[in-house]
Structure 1
Amino acid sequence: MPHNPDKITERLFQAPLKYIQGPSAFRNAGKYLSALGNAPLLICDSVVYNIAGNDLVNNLRMASLNVTYAEFIGEISTQEIDRLTEYARSNHVDFVIGVGGGKTLDCAKVIAETIQTPVASLPTIAATDAPCSAVSVVYTPDGHFDHYKFMKKNPDIVLVDTSIIAKAPARFLASGMGDAIATHIEAKSCKQSVVPWGGLPTEVSGAISEKCEEILLKYGKVAYEANKVHAVTPAFEAVVEANTLLSGLGFESGGVAAAHSIHNGLTAIDALHGLLHGEKVAFGVVVHLILTNAPSSELEKYIEFMLTVDLPVTFELLGIPNVTDEELRAVAKLACSPRETIWSMDIGDSITEDKVFHAIKGADAASREYIRRANWVRAGL
């Protein structure tokens, strides 16, 4: 797919209507969400319900909202979306609230789009930039990447409670950094590409993605350590905002490229289904840099950053030390599917499955060599 087949010249930027972040922000959920309607459907999985969902339901009912709860189960698959959409229709809800991780929030967005209601994203982890985006990643029931679903608009409200985020394992924050560190890297490779909603990247999207990277490199390690002791510090707040808001705005209006295609390609390997989204994107970042022939100094800067927050940059750290060339070619093939984001790169016309296969192997080799030379000591994922 060419990166600008219709020679589009208009620039485009989009964002959520309102973003709120702070400690104990969920306590004010009724005040903010009542602007969207009176009868919301709140979606979360059973674990998140015990962490935050039950309190939210009570909070919203105290604000005179007629809340209906539905449990999100398993994958964000077409089947699960259809099940919950029918439940929403049968209960005559007038807006949807997604509470939890990226898959739950993505599911809520698709349901709201289908039944044509507002939607609110309430993340309980800072593991992806899904809360702010107008795109959902849909998987098969057994966890393989299926397709992207693009919405007409972004969520109406994104409400982030950093006290809840800080209680989650630090691995989730690190995953969010793996996803977010790709934002500026990919945007720089897509300056002539068309974003999914039909425009070229704006200057502001580039500035946002650059600021996102700046925050991660400056505060990422400190925030990661704070999260380990469940401390809401200024560095932690900054990184949560970078992972959630800045990355969300930056990727959506700036462009997505090879790092995310590699993530999707890695779903071809069943052994990797237990990894988080950003952990696979982190390895995809190294592949992206190899594919674009980044200078060694730049490549090593990002490898070092990801190692400081325990993100996997080699086959061994991904958990597939004995991966075969046949499996890696399957990854490359899936990453180069016709509608993949890898084709949006300015060098998209020169990319082939074979080049991607070799870039994957080169990424592992470069990271292993950096670790060897730096005598890197890791705590392990």
Structure 2
Amino acid sequence: MNKNNLPEEVSHCAHSIAPEKVVRGERAWEESHQLIASICRSPLLLGRSIATAELRQGLLNNLRDLGLNTVSAELKHDCCEMDLKRINALALYNSCDGVIAAGGGKVLDAGKLLAHRLSIPCITVPLSAATCAGWTALANIYSPTGAFQRDQVLARCPHLMIFDHGLVRQAPPRTLASGIADAIAKWYEASVSNGSSNDGLIQQAVQMARVLRDQLLLDGPEALKDQNSLAWIRVAEACALTAGLIGGIGGSRCRTAAAHAVHNALTQLKDCHEVLHGEKVGYGILVQLRLEEIIGGHQLAGQARRQLIPFLKGLDLPVNLEDLGLSNLSLHELHEVCQFACQKGSDLYQLPFPVNSNALLEALLGASDNGPVPVESTVTKRIAAS
């Protein structure tokens, strides 16, 4: 309690809730031209993927047609310090007064972080609905080989987010499925880590996450079947916009827990680098629910996990180590992954019960099991015997 007799969790919070402006719809990019010109005159256009090169060239041409002195740059890796330092120097050399990040989550994170460090505006243009990175005041930083290192809270959300349906529709359907898994995780993580919170905003964010989950469970399959459906619009915007809003309202305590801790640990494996962010997070949800069964003794978590497995399978999302391409890893290698997830400061400790690496390994191995929770963990014996 503090001097006002309020619980500490509700006494003081600083929130970066949303971008200053969001433009969404079929022609959102074209409709944003004058807004962009009012924000910056010499922007840096940041991208990465060869798959989006033609799209980004079109954006670059549009910006130059507006009379903007635009410099183009590409990431060579994920959002890593090596790339950030190189592009930071390029932006300074060209006196850039804004960053326009056009791409997936890593590009959007890198653009936000560059703008944050340069103290210039950031405009995000997601080219898929795979994450809510275009919305948030947060950036994940990776090694040049794609291993998660840390996240960084930014001073603010982007100045402008442009969610152009026509641009996003050109992304592979796999990216939308990945976005669904990442967005659904908001409910499973926020509800277990903050279900008993006394903070009204957190309570409301948790309930928003529940509604988001329900909508994605209902509309997700149709959205993937028909990109021209209303279901696609609802799902794409849920993944890229609403998921970010929930994290903005609820703050850091409503963003991540064990599912993202599993993602961060899996990125340490070279064999997992081609697996998308949300694909790893979706598997992480199953691991988290298994932990709730094993350690928390929550039978409802087991029921939720068994109901979620066919939904994820229906979207061609991984539900076990084999699906992730990790079936050949030894128990010792998997245990090292679990030790990374259990390191100090991990999102794993948002769970309301203690977790050690052996229990996490048990959950990794049993994430898609349909049987009952084992009476006694066999992990320690299996590690010793391997």
Shift of 1:193: 9.8
> Does the CA contact (< 8 Å) of 1:29 and 1:60 recur in 2?
no
| TM-score after normalising by structure 2 | 0.86
Q: Who is 2:84 aligned against?
A: 81
1:28 and 1:232 map into 2 onto residues whose CA distance is 21
1:321-373 residue CA offsets vs partner (Å, 9 max, x unmatched): 233211211111111121221112333xx222222121112214349x9xxxx
Structure 2 match to 1:276: 276
Please list the CA deviations of residues 189-248 of structure 1 after superposition, one character each: whole Å capped at 9, or x if unmatched.
221799xxxx9952332233122212211100000112xxxx332110101111111112
1:224 aligned to 2:203? no
Contact 1:191 1:200 in 2 (8 A): no
Answer yes or no: is the 8 Å Cα contact 2:79–2:110 preserved in 1. Answer: yes
Task: Report the Cα distance in structure 2 between the residues aligned to 1:55 and 1:42, rounded to whole angstroms.
Answer: 11
Deviates more, 1:155-164 or 1:245-254: 245-254
Equivalent residue runs for 1:155-174 within 5 Å: 155-174=158-177
Equivalent residue, structure 1, for 2:242 = 246
The higher radius of gyration belongs to 2
TM superposition shift of 1:43: 0.5
What stretches of structure 1 move > 6 A for 4+ residues in a row?
none
Match of 2:338 in 1: 332
Equivalent in the alignment of 1:68 = 71
Could you say which residue in structure 1 is the equivalent of 2:118?
115
Return the match for 2:44 from 38, 41, 44: 41
> Which position in structure 1 is the counterpart of 2:379?
none
2:259 counterpart residue number: 259
How far off its partner does 1:271 sit?
0.9
Aligned counterpart, 1:8: 9
The residue number in structure 2 matching 1:299 is 305
Residues 24 and 209 of structure 1: is their aligned pair in 2 closer, same or farther, counting only changes over 3 Å?
A: same
Report if the CA contact (8 A) 2:140-2:151 is conserved.
yes
1: distance between equivalents of 2:200 and 2:326? Answer: 38
| Superposition RMSD in Å | 2.3
Is contact 1:269–1:327 with CA below 8 Å preserved after alignment?
no
Task: Decide which moves more: 354-363 or 282-291.
Answer: 354-363
Classify 1:12/1:214 alpha carbon distance in 2 versus 1 (closer, same or farther; 3 Å): farther
Cα deviation 1:82-130 (Å, max 9, x = unaligned) = 1111111111111111001111111101100000011011011111121
Kept after mapping to 2: 8 A contact 1:8/1:200: no
User: Which of the numbers 352, 356, 359 marks the counterpart of 2:360?
Assistant: 356
| CA–CA distance in structure 2, aligned partners of residues 104 and 330 of structure 1 | 29
**Larger deviation, residues 180-189 vs 17-26:** 17-26
Q: Is the 8 A contact 1:190 1:255 kept in 2?
A: no
TM-superposed deviation, 1:151:
0.6
| Equivalent position to 2:232, from 236, 239, 242 | 236
Contact 2:208 2:246 in 1 (8 A): yes
- Where do 5+ consecutive residues of structure 1 fail to align? 1-5, 370-381
Distance 1:219 1:49, change over 3 A: closer
Question: Conserved in 1, the CA contact under 8 Å of 2:23 and 2:32?
Answer: no
CA contact (8 A) 2:136 2:244 kept: yes
Please, which of 301, 304, 313 is the counterpart of residue 319 of structure 2? 313
What are the superposed Cα offsets for residues 132-180 of structure 1, whole Å, 9 maximum, x if unpaired? 1111111111111111121111111111111121122111111111111
What is the aligned residue count? 354
The percent of aligned pairs where both chains have the same amino acid is 30
Shift in Å, 1:249: 2.0
SS of residue matched to 1:20: strand
Match of 2:365, as an amino acid?
A: K
Q: Which amino acid aligns with 1:338?
A: K
- Cα pair 2:49 2:103 within 8 Å, conserved: no
Scaled by the length of structure 1, the TM-score of the pair is 0.87
- Distance in 2 (CA, whole Å) between partners of 1:69 and 1:83 is 13
1:81 to partner: Cα distance: 0.7
Deviates most, 305-314 or 52-61: 52-61
Match of 1:3 in 2: none
